[in-house]
């Protein structure tokens, strides 16, 4: 009997790899240690599943930084158009939202999981849940099989082809516990140290806790590392009981996490009025102070910011809350203007990797063939998805990379070796 292609991990990459390999004629066993496949996929995009983005390949690659070029080969054979065509064939209708983000019309990630699982089964994939892999079986730098645990017993599956699609180390409750890194390292691969990416951040002091639940839209957030501005972004952010989150913060979090790992000082500067430069904002403030001259300062602030921000502003500027607006002097006006354009928070650490949307680090890309996704160290061992040392910011990019590398690995992983298994 022809030996199977064994796919380890039933997430986005694993489902595409297994389904594609079976589609082109392989006998495929998909091993998922959890009770059902697609657990992490089912919670992506806050349960809505940001599948991909309508950006061009070139734009996509740019979101992955310097290592993005590794994905050119995978994207050339399976990109957003191919993904959406596949999903449409499976009965999933999609829609495009702000920023080119693509979601299922149903806003249900579970629909995506169900469709991909059904596609796998129709293609003949043998999906085996609650069968965790304990180790890879190697001989002379070649895959010979995998060892699995079934109940209290240990069994071996003989195979010459294994696709590791075990994901990263975030959201361990979904099954992503970093197993694949350990197996790859034991096989001789270099693992770039993992760290959280797209992760909320903790801030110093009580300000964030006082603002818990406040969402700021259309603000600009700049990141200062050791006093030097490194990047900025425009959009939405959210205050939590421990610090900050939201799209802008998540996008900047990898840079911040790396700086904190190197013991550097990190602050973020929030521009609450990015549409106005300093002169325009000063003109606006002078107008408001004249128009509402009899109002107390704290009541005037209701015209400038959300209610929950007012106590923070009062504390930061030192302007008495009951001072009439027409008595605000020039220096106080300048202090308010500067705070509105430069509301600072010190970042003390990122949240744990278990809370990260994506894991940074992983299999060193120089040890993987970008065309086939096969290991350059172990014959018959392939990688797909988040286990690779590549990640992007938010917007559907990471999920598309998982789908694309899964498809590419599945397309190349047909085992030609026969065995008695």
- At residue 419 the predicted structure's pLDDT band, cuts being 50, 70 and 90, is very low
Which candidate, 23, 21, 61, places its Cα nearest to that of 370? 61
Q: How many CA atoms lie within 13 A of 268 on its CB side?
A: 32
- Indicate the pLDDT class of residue 169, thresholds 50, 70 and 90: confident
Cα–Cα distance, 51 to 194 (Å, whole number): 24
pLDDT of residue 417: 42
> Residue 301 is encoded by which pair of tokens?
């602030």
**Is residue 171 within 8 Å of residue 211, measured between CB atoms?**
no
Question: Is the confidence at residue 378, as pLDDT, over 90?
Answer: yes
Least confident of 79-88, 119-128, 350-359: 350-359
Alpha carbon 147 to its chain's center: 30
Give the number of residues written for the chain.
Answer: 421
User: What average pLDDT does range 213-223 have in this prediction?
Assistant: 97
Residues of the chain above pLDDT 70, percent: 98
Check residue 1 and give its pLDDT: 63
380 touches 161 (CB < 8 A) = yes
Q: At what angle do helices 397-412 and 80-89 cross, to 10 degrees?
A: 80
Q: Which residue(s) pair with 216 in the sheet?
A: 237
End-to-end CA gap in the chain:
7
Q: What is the CA radius of gyration of the chain?
A: 25
Mean pLDDT of 244-250: 95
Amino acid 172: pLDDT: 82
Whole-number average pLDDT of the chain: 94
pLDDT tens digits, residue range 336-351? 999 999 999 999 999 9
pTM: 0.87
- From CA 349, how far away is CA 255, in angstroms rounded? 12
Q: Could you read off the pLDDT of 9-26 as tens digits, one per residue?
A: 999 999 999 999 999 999
pLDDT at 116: 98
| 343-350 and 228-239 strand pairing | unpaired
The two tokens of residue 193 are 């140290």
pLDDT tens readout for residues 317-328 = 999 999 999 999
Per residue, what are the HEC states of the chain?
A: CECCEEEECCCHHHHHHHHHHHHCCCCEEEEECCCCCCCCHHHHHHHCCCCEECCCHHHHHHCCHHHHHHHHHHHHHCCHHHHHHHHHHCCCCEEEEHHHEEEECCCCHHHHHHHHHHHHHHCCCEEEECCCEEEEEECCCEEEEEEEEECCEEEEEECCEEEECCCCCCCHHHCCCCHHHHHHHHCCCCEEEEEEECCCEEECCCHHHHCCCCEEEEEEEEEEECCEEEEEEEEEEEECCCEEECHHHHHHHHHHHHHHHCCCCEEEEEECCCCCCHHHHHHHHHHHHHHCCCCEHHHHHHHCCCHHHHHHHHHHHCCCCCCEHHHCCHHHHHHHHHHHHCEEEEEEEECCHHHCCEEEEEECHHHECCCCCEECCCECEEECHHHECCCCCCCCHHHHHHHHHHHHHHHHCCCCCECCC
Q: pLDDT class for 415, splitting at 50, 70, 90?
A: very low
Residue 151 confidence (pLDDT)? 81
Residue 70 has pLDDT above 50, yes or no: yes
* 77-107 residue pLDDT tens: 999 999 999 999 999 999 999 999 999 999 9
- For residue 188, the model assigns a pLDDT of 96
């Amino acid at each position: 009997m022809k030996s199977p292609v064994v796919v380890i991990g039933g997430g986005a990459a694993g489902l595409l790899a297994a389904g594609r390999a079976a589609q082109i004629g392989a006998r495929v066993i998909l091993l998922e240690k959890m009770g059902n496949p697609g657990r992490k996929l089912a919670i992506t995009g806050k349960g809505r599943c940001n599948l991909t983005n309508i950006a061009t390949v070139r734009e996509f690659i740019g979101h992955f930084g310097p290592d993005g070029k590794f994905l050119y080969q995978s994207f050339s054979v399976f990109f957003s158009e191919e993904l959406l065509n596949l999903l449409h064939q499976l009965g999933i209708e999609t829609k495009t939202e702000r920023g080119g983000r693509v979601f299922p019309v149903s806003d249900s990630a579970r629909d995506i999981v169900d469709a991909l699982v059904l596609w796998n089964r129709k293609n003949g994939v043998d999906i085996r849940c609650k069968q965790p892999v304990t180790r890879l079986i190697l001989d002379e730098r070649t895959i010979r099989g995998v060892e699995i645990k079934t109940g209290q017993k240990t069994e071996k599956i003989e195979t010459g082809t294994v696709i590791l699609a075990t994901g990263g180390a975030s959201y361990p409750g979904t099954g992503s516990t970093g197993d694949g890194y350990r197996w790859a390292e034991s096989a001789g691969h270099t693992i770039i140290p993992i760290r959280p990416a797209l992760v909320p951040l903790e801030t110093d002091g009580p300000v964030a806790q006082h603002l818990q639940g406040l969402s700021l839209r259309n603000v600009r957030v700049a990141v200062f590392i050791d006093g030097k501005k490194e990047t900025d972004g425009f959009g939405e952010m959210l205050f939590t009981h421990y610090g900050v989150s939201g799209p802008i913060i998540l996008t900047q979090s990898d840079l911040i996490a790396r700086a904190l790992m190197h013991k550097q000082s990190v602050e973020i500067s929030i521009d609450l009025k990015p549409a106005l430069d300093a002169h325009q904002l000063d003109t606006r403030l002078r107008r408001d102070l004249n128009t509402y001259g009899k109002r107390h300062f704290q009541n005037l602030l209701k015209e400038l910011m959300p209610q929950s921000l007012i106590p923070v502003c009062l504390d930061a500027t030192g302007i008495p809350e009951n001072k009439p607006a027409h008595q605000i002097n020039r220096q106080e006006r300048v202090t308010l203007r500067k705070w509105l354009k430069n509301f600072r928070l010190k970042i003390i650490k990122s949240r744990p990797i278990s809370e990260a949307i994506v894991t940074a680090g992983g299999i060193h890309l120089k040890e993987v063939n970008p065309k086939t996704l096969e290991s350059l160290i172990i014959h018959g061992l392939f990688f797909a998805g988040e286990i690779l040392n590549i990640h992007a910011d938010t917007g559907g990019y990471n999920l598309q990379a998982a789908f694309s590398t899964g498809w590419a690995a599945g397309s190349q992983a047909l085992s030609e070796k026969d065995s008695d298994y």
